[in-house]
Amino acid sequence: KQNCSLAGILQHPDGTVLKQLQPPPRGPREQEFYNKVYDSNCCDSVLLELREYLPKYFGVWSPPTAPNDTYLKLEDVTRKFNKPCIMDVKIGQKSYDPYASAEKIQQQVSKYPLMEEIGFLVLGMRVYHVSSDSYETQNQHYGRSLTKETIKEGISKFFHNGYCLRKDAIAASIRKVEKILEWFEGQEQLNFYASSLLFVYEGSYQATTMRLSDVTLAEKRGVPKGLLSGGDILEYNNNIHVINATENGKIEASVGKGLSKFYALHKKAYSKRPHSQLSLKVETLEQDVWKSSACIAQEHLNGNVLPQLEKVFCHMPAELKETPAVEVRMIDFAHVFPSNTKDEGYIYGLKNLITVLQNILDN
């Protein structure tokens, strides 16, 4: 079960996430932004393209027990991943909007004085470490501690799984950020402040093993044969977990490990008022299913297979690997305003972030 206390982010049983509306004017402004972009009558090509870079929006939702509490109902971008690695990066040279008071400006600048120069700020990350089968989490303090000299190392931490640097995920992330940059270069109607990019990539070797072109290597190293042929194959490429037919005929995605948990770890609550004590039952895929015979047994991961996978998967050139499971989406729109100029602050931040990612990839 998960409840409203998770910093305004909830997991709905239907696989969406619920983001509690912030107090006015921020909450209504964010709702208005989503309504405008996802208006069924929208024929503005700029907004229609923007949808590709946002979580899908399913309107608003209120719990029956608290009809005055409003939540945005959004796609859970992490849902399709087995071991989602998640990073939230605030983009732009200013994290305050044009209508901010002098006090608010001072408060925002003092949080991260380098924002103007660097153009982005790491708000948090959660990285799956294969060796320990556990997550390492960093919060806002980590991001604010990064300087011009350490920003590259600080971001590269997100792409390191304890064994190697996931250059495939970096290359795919760069391509996705470049697409968002293209959109910003071509529009002059919206400016974004204190908005973020959410990065997600698949951290699990279980999800990448079957992507190796040399499947025979995996076979030789002790992957159960049921994985490689016959009806019990697990479709890792699109992360649909088919667990024989014996699991009561159910196919369930692993939830509760993703976005809502990530936000709970490093996002502060949006309002000081107590949240209504709503709790939602969330069915999760028990971890022991992943340790069953249908998967690569844990002892193989801890033994011979992992060094081999590291050699093959981690050290292949980024461009030769299959496109890995990576998502980059824009989130947090409480400070989006109409404009008649390019969003130069956001563009600056995107370009600088691409440069840093490219440097990590090249070195």
Query: Could you give the 3-state DSSP secondary structure of residue 279?
Result: strand
Give the residue-averaged pLDDT of 60-78: 96
pLDDT (0 to 100) of residue 279: 38
C-alpha angle 353-174-51 in degrees, rounded to nearest 5: 95
Q: What is the pLDDT of residue 9?
A: 86
Peptide bond into 55 cis (omega under 30): no
Mean pLDDT across 235-261: 39
Confidence category of residue 225, pLDDT binned at 50, 70, 90? very low
pTM of the predicted protein model: 0.75
| Model pLDDT, residue 216 | 38
C-alpha distances (whole Å) from 42 to each of 34, 45, 47, 301 are 12, 8, 8, 50
Q: What is the pLDDT of residues 252-278, one digit of tens each?
A: 333 345 677 676 655 544 444 444 434
Look-up: residue for tokens 């069953």?
A: 292
> Which residue in this structure is represented by tokens 């997600």?
200
Computed over every residue of the chain, the mean pLDDT equals 78
User: What confidence category does residue 311 fall into, taking pLDDT thresholds of 50, 70 and 90?
Assistant: low
**What is the amino acid identity at position 349?**
G
- The per-residue b/e assignment along 77-98, b for 16 or more CB within 10 angstroms, e otherwise, is bbbbbbbbbbbbbbbbbbbbbe
Do 180 and 50 contact (CB within 8 A), yes or no? no
Helix axes 167-185, 344-362, angle to 10 degrees: 160
Structure tokens at 230: 């016959």
Q: If we measure between CA atoms, which residue out of 280, 200, 259 comes closest to residue 7?
A: 259
Going by pLDDT thresholds of 50, 70 and 90, the confidence category of residue 307 is low
3-state class (DSSP) for residue 80:
coil
Higher pLDDT, 168 or 208: 168
Identify the CATH number of the domain defined by range 77-206+323-362.
3.30.470.160
Going by pLDDT thresholds of 50, 70 and 90, the confidence category of residue 324 is confident
> Which residue type does 136 have?
E
If you average pLDDT over residues 93-99, what whole number do you get?
97
Give the pLDDT score at 273.
Answer: 44
Average pLDDT, stretch 331-360?
98
Helix, strand, or coil (residue 188): coil
H-type helices in the chain, by residue range?
A: 26-37, 45-50, 102-111, 115-118, 140-144, 151-156, 167-185, 205-209, 215-220, 259-266, 287-290, 298-302, 305-309, 344-362
